[in-house]
Structure 1
Amino acid sequence: MGCMRTILHVPTRSNRRIWGLEREIRASILKLVKERQKVGVGEDLLQTLVEGAKETYSTSAAMDQFIVDNCKNIYLAGFETSAISASWCLMLLATNPEWQIRIREEVDQVCEGRVPDIDTLRKMKQLHMVIQETMRLYAPAPTLSREMLKDVKIGGLRVPKGVNVWTMVATLHTDPNIWGPDALQFKPERFQNGISGACKSPNCYMPFGFGQRVCVGQHLAMVELKLLMALIMSNFSFTLSPKYVHKPEMTTIIEPKHGVNILINKI
C-alpha cells in the first residue's frame, strides 16, 4: 500500500498530466461557483453544496475541496452514467429489433401520441425490463468498494480494519450460477416478475450499489432513461452501423471504447 502511494506522487509523464487535469477541473468548478455567487441565484443544487460547505468547514481550503469533490461526483454519477447506459441500451435494441417493435408499440399504446409524463412512464413495463437488463449486462458501476471501519468476519475470512473490500458487480451480474445458462444473453423478459424472479439472489443485482450508500439518484436516473428511450423509440427506428466496434472498456464505469455507431431512420 505504501509503495502504491509513493508511485502516485512520482512526477511521471502520466502523473503530471493527471495533476494538470485535476488543477484545470478544480479551477473551472471554483470559477463557476464564484460567478454564481456574484449573480446571486436562488436555491439549487450548487447553492445547497456551497451552503453545506460553509456550515461544515471553517477554512476556505476545506470548503473549496468539499465543493469540488461533490461537483465531480455529481457529474460522474448524475450525468455520465445515465448517458453511457442510454448508449448501451440503444446498442442492445439496435441488435434486437424485435424488442424495438415491442417497446415502440408499448410507448404508442400508453402515450397515445402525447409526450410521456411520470404517470405514463410508470406503465411502461417492457421498457423498464429493457433498461434493467441493460444495466445488468453493462452496470453503471462495475465495481464497488467498502472500507472496513473495524475488524469483521465475512464467512470464514477475517478482514482487518482499514482494508478495502471490492465487490465485482460486473461478475455478479453475469454469473450463470445466479442468472442461469443464458446469463450473457440479452433477455429483458427475465425481469417480468421483478428482480427476485430474475435471479437466485436479488441482492446480486446492484446497478446502483447497495446498503446505506446506495445511489440516492437511482429513481431519477430510471426516469431519465425511460423518458429518453421512450422519446427516441416513438420517433426513430435504428440498426447497428457496420462501423460499430464492440469493445466495452471497464474504467470507473463500463463504456464503449469506440462509441456506439447506429443508423437512424425517422418514423
Structure 2
Amino acid sequence: MWRLEKDVHTLIWKEMKRKGADSEKNILQMLIQGAKNSDLSQDEVDNFVVDNCKNICFPAYENGAVPAIWTLMLLALYPEWQDKVRAEVLEIFDGQSSTSAMLNKLKTVSVKPFAHISSYSFDTFIIIRNLRQLTMVIYESLRLYPLGCMLTREAVLDTRFGGVDVPKGVSIWVMMMALYEDPNIWGPDVHKFNPERFGNGINGACKPPYVYIPFGTGPRSCLGQHFAMAEIKILISLLVSNFTFSLSPKYRHSPVMNLIIEPEFGVDLLVRKV
C-alpha cells in the first residue's frame, strides 16, 4: 500500500507539473500557486496539491459514472420511460440520432467532449436544460440510488436542532436513504420509480423540498453538481438516441453502500442499435 501510494503521488505530481506549465491559466495553476504562497513546507505543498487533485478526480469520475449506470438500469427496467426520453431527445435534436450530429448540435469545441467544462458552449447548457423528461428520470434515479449514503456536518457551536441540543464538536450524520424512503415526505409510492413526481421540479416533488440533496447542501455542497448533471444528460442523450436497453438475465441487483452506492456486480444490459 505504501509503494502504491508513493507511485500514485509521483504520477499525479508529474502530470501536475506538465499541466501546470500550460500558458493558459487554469485551476491547477491556481491551486499550486495558492499552496506555494501559504506557510506550508515544500513537502506539505506537494501533499496538499496531490490530495486536492485526488479529491477532484474521484468525484469528477464517480459523480457522473455511477448515476449514469443506475439511470441506464432504470431506463432498461422501465421501457416506457426509455421511449419518452428517446422521443424527447430526438425532438430537441431535430431527429438527428447520430453521435456526431448531436455533438454538432451541442456545439462542443473539444475532441473529448467530457474532458473539461470549457468544452461546452453556453448553448450546450441551454439545450440540455430543455431535456425535461430526462431531468425527471435522473432526479428520480438519484433519489432511489443517491450518490452518498450519508451527509455529515460538525457543530462548530453549541446548537439546538429540531428540539435537540447538539454540543459543539459533535458530528451530525444524516442518512440519505432515511430521507428518500420516508412516505411522509414522498407519498405512498416512495419505493416506486416515478419520475413524474418531479414534474413540477424538486419543490413539487417532496415536502419540504430541502430534504432532497443529491449533491449536498449549504456552503459545502458539491462545486461540480451542475457540470455533473450536464455530463449525465449528454451521455444518456447520446446513448438512448442510438441504442435501446434492456436488462440482461445475468443482471444481479445488489446495491452496496461504499463511499457511494454502487452496483456490487455491475449492470449487465442488452444493447441494440436503434
Q: TM-score, length-normalised on structure 1? A: 0.88
1:62 to 44, 48, 53: 44
Q: What is the CA distance between 1:97 and its match in structure 2? A: 0.3
Q: Unmatched 5+ residue regions in structure 1?
A: 1-16
Alignment map for 1:1-267 (pairs within 5 Å): 17=1, 19=2, 21-36=4-19, 40=22, 42-112=24-94, 113=96, 114-115=101-102, 116-117=105-106, 118=124, 119-267=126-274
Question: In structure 2, how many angstroms separate the alpha carbons of the residues matched to 1:71 and 1:174?
Answer: 34
Q: Higher mean Cα deviation, 124-133 or 65-74?
A: 65-74
1:130-184 deviations in Å (ceiling 9; x for gaps)? 0111111111122111111122121232212211111111221121111111111
SS at 1:162 equivalent? coil
Question: In structure 1, how many angstroms separate the alpha carbons of the residues matched to 2:18 and 2:131?
Answer: 42
Matched residue pairs, number?
249
Corresponding residue of 1:5:
none
Q: Higher mean Cα deviation, 134-143 or 205-214?
A: 134-143
Q: Higher mean Cα deviation, 60-69 or 129-138?
A: 60-69
SS at 1:47 equivalent? helix
Question: In structure 1, how many angstroms separate the alpha carbons of the residues matched to 2:176 and 2:58?
Answer: 18
Corresponding residue of 2:117:
none
1:66-98 deviations in Å (ceiling 9; x for gaps)? 212211111222111210010000000000000
Q: Unmatched 5+ residue regions in structure 2?
A: 107-123
Q: What is the CA distance between 1:56 and its match in structure 2? A: 2.8
**Contact residue 57 and residue 63 of structure 1 kept, 8 A:** no
SS at 2:10 equivalent? helix
SS at 1:243 equivalent? coil
SS at 2:244 equivalent? strand
**Contact residue 151 and residue 160 of structure 1 kept, 8 A:** yes
SS at 2:262 equivalent? strand
Change beyond 3 A, Cα 1:104–1:51: same
Change beyond 3 A, Cα 1:149–1:189: same
Change beyond 3 A, Cα 1:247–1:53: same
Q: Which amino acid aligns with 1:174?
A: E
Change beyond 3 A, Cα 1:244–1:46: same
Q: TM-score, length-normalised on structure 2? A: 0.85
Question: In structure 1, how many angstroms separate the alpha carbons of the residues matched to 2:9 and 2:141?
Answer: 33
Q: Which amino acid aligns with 2:272?
A: N
Corresponding residue of 1:10:
none
Question: In structure 2, how many angstroms separate the alpha carbons of the residues matched to 1:253 and 1:176?
Answer: 23
**Contact residue 179 and residue 200 of structure 1 kept, 8 A:** yes
Change beyond 3 A, Cα 1:21–1:249: farther
Corresponding residue of 2:120:
none
